[in-house]
């Protein structure tokens, strides 16, 4: 078994899109039928990562995500960040972008 889909519901849709895009995810806008407009990115392993506006079900609760940056060669290490909703995001990579905020 392997993961193929991650969906995060948020009231900070554009902020979350900007945050995850700063980590290297390339989003495209989507809308299925009469459903909500949302953002989707496909990871190198084929997993689809989607950001949806929070609806009646509310936001995605506590969640910790982990990503490994492809092609990282220098300064390898682990960094914990927080997305705009406060979810912990663990990155394992090399060359860190200065613009990426760290978790407090």
The domain 5-93 is placed in CATH, from the list 3.90.1150.10, 3.40.30.10, 3.10.180.10, 3.30.160.270, at: 3.10.180.10
Contact 78, 60 (CB under 8 A): no
What does the pLDDT look like over 24-67, one tens digit per residue?
Answer: 899 999 999 999 999 999 998 899 999 999 986 677 778 899 98
What does the pLDDT look like over 1-28, one tens digit per residue?
Answer: 889 999 999 999 999 999 999 998 999 9
Cα separation, 33 vs 95, whole angstroms? 40
pTM given for the model: 0.81
Q: Show the DSSP H helices in 1-104 as ranges.
A: 13-22
């Amino acid at each position: 078994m392997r993961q193929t889909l991650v969906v995060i519901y948020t009231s900070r849709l554009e902020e979350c899109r900007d945050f995850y895009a700063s980590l290297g995810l390339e989003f495209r806008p989507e809308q299925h039928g009469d459903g909500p407009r949302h953002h989707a990115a496909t990871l190198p392993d084929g997993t689809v990562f989607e950001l949806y506006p929070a609806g009646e079900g509310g936001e995605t609760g506590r969640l910790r995500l982990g990503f490994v940056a492809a092609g990282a060669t220098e300064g390898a290490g682990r960094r914990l960040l927080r997305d705009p909703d406060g979810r912990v995001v663990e990155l394992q990579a090399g060359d860190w972008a200065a613009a990426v905020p760290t978790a407090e």
